Chain A
């Protein structure tokens, strides 16, 4: 696994983009990059030297949590990325209704006009449901297959 530990400067650049996109001020954990795009979040105790030490011992199959992807100078947060920073997300949030949330979690793109362009945070009630890409009349969906709801499983039968 090709692991690149992001230094403070590189982390600051990502924070700046996240501030611009979603109003996020601070990333309270370390970041590493795997390959060209994937950014992983790791606890602050895991230092560069520690990773290198383990790499000398065994091939690292995985590290931390997949946090975001850097795509064409923009950041697309993963579901966990939105969970980790949910307290700070204040911009470009699009709230879905129950029916839309069900479709979203089934992995469908939504034929909706949000009035925004680019990456937006998808939310339903208190749940952050990852990031979508808004264009004129639709929101592109990035929910991975193993996180999708099967049809008929969105069971919001709340007590009345």
Chain B
């Protein structure tokens, strides 16, 4: 792996970095289906989506190298404010909660709200996770970048400043690359190279004091209209077929074919 990027001088004075975070059921929580839909009330633990945590860590390092403000933005129902408090506990300065019933919004609506919030915060650099742990989609990063008219680099593991722009380590179609990209830019993070920092008691107690700004779509002057996506239902994944047993090395070819066709796992 190439030498670590130099993070000195990352920020122009007064510059803000925005981090988009999403609250999701903890990846270890059991997901139960009730009445044909995932039962949210049965989710035992909610957390910041794991890839967003890497984005947050990178943003904190940028903030520490310069003197900027870290704005954490989330779009979601009232429980999502806890994700902002968790971000504050590790150092986020400004907390913005776009309070909406996220389930019933489509990508156009969600992205327009997030982009409006980013513009309002005046951030030129935006970080987020490559995909949320609930939808596993990955549309928000590129979509918000497009609405902001900014550059976009995805599958990022590390970033740093490069004069007026940035250097990012990313996994591209040709393999791992270090790319330079001018500002403004949105970076979508894969697993980062840095270890995630733990909160500490001081951070947790200070987070309690930080105000969360709660905004509605009209506060952001966004006419979101109607969702074009209607949820029809959730179901458990199809039951796996009972285990099959084969004799002899000749059966390996058959098993490999089944892994592709039946299991869809390679």
The answer to whether A and B interact is: no
